[in-house]
Amino acid sequence: MKQNPDQGRRGGARKGSAGRRSGSAKPSNNRGGQRPSSSRSGGKPSGRPAGRPGGRPGGRPGGPKPKLKFAPVPDSTATMRLNRYIAQAGVCSRREADVMIGAGVVSVNNKVITELGFKVDPTKDLVRVEGDTIRPETMRYVLVNKPKNFLGIENDPSGRRSVGDLIKNACKERIYPVDRIEKESTGLILFTNDGELAKRLNHPKVGLRELYHITLAKKANPEDLEKMLEGFVLDEGFVKAKEVAFVKNDPHEIGMEIHSNRSRIVRRMWEHLGHKVVKVDRVVYGPLTKKDLPRGHWRHLTKDELNMLRMTT
């Protein structure tokens, strides 16, 4: 697997039709994570959707965003509770770790610990369970720009191509996709072994920002954009776009922001309006973008990106 020299460690798929993007389908204005300008007329994007209250486009009339009732996702290398350390080492669950601590079979730096709230420094402290030294698994975060016709999973028992084939040399730890992208779609997908962060990112109350570039077989019209902004009901409930606009005034090319991780949601929303979807490409996932990450390549998240992800949740 060749690595991209400009981004450090990266894997890459063989160049071909699955790895190319046509110039007409390239959302140049959104590549750095900028939001599409919502449009009610379908011609020229406007500053904010007509009929919406003032303030941010598509947002609430004013006031701060409500705070989620979540504690920040902790840094896996920061000081942590002893039961979490034991659980991250794969010994048992946190609840079971509390039982072991209470039973006096856990020691830190050769001292038996029975205090349930005891904290350890994973970079310095020596932890033993029943005399055996344990160490928590290193957390890995790998961002992939998925090509078309690759399954968005770590591996496929039947031997079909998957994103796991592209990142098999990324790390020794076993990592999993935070969410799924269907085989025929392309774009960003995050793999990690940090189950706590993955759970947060998928929580409905988080509503992680996702930006897609969609290519339609037939032209969309301003009424389609209006319906996407107003929302409608699918089988699993009400859905809507946060923002939506034509890309470079081309009614075949749509930039669309949503805050939902429902399965195939973007494709199904456009099919609900009677459109055949040719292409779905996720260009932004939370604070992460495709910038400088070619199709079929991967890279590890930077410390700043990981911190931004944690703040998102």
Asked whether residue 78 carries a pLDDT value surpassing 90, the answer given is no
Residue 305 CA to residue 313 CA, distance in Å, equals 13
Residue 206 CA to residue 200 CA, distance in Å, equals 7
210 in Cβ contact with 188 (< 8 Å): no
For domain 141-203+299-312, give the fold. Alpha-Beta Plaits (3.30.70)
pLDDT per position as a tens digit, 181-198: 999 999 999 999 998 899
* Structural tokens at position 174: 């076993």
End-to-end CA distance of the chain: 33
For domain 80-133, give the fold. 3.10.290
Q: Fold identical between 80-133 and 209-285?
A: no
Q: Side-chain half-sphere of 60: how many Cα atoms within 13 Å?
A: 5
* Structural tokens at position 31: 């590549």
Residue 159 DSSP one-character state: -
* Per-residue burial over 114-150, b = 16 or more CB atoms within 10 Å of its CB, e = otherwise: eeeeeebebeeeebebeeeebebeebbbbbbbbbbeb
79 in Cβ contact with 119 (< 8 Å): yes
Classify 184 as helix, strand or coil.
coil
pLDDT per position as a tens digit, 231-253: 999 988 999 999 999 999 999 99
Lowest mean pLDDT among 56-60, 120-124, 160-164, 219-223: 56-60
Classify 279 as helix, strand or coil.
strand
Residue 199 CA to residue 196 CA, distance in Å, equals 5
Structure confidence at residue 77 as a pLDDT band (50, 70, 90): low
> What CATH code would you report for 209-285?
3.30.70.1560
Residue 36 CA to residue 209 CA, distance in Å, equals 13
pLDDT per position as a tens digit, 243-289: 999 999 999 999 999 998 788 999 999 999 999 999 999 999 999 99
pLDDT: which is higher, 173 or 49: 173
Locate the domains of the chain by residue range. Answer: 80-133, 141-203+299-312, 209-285
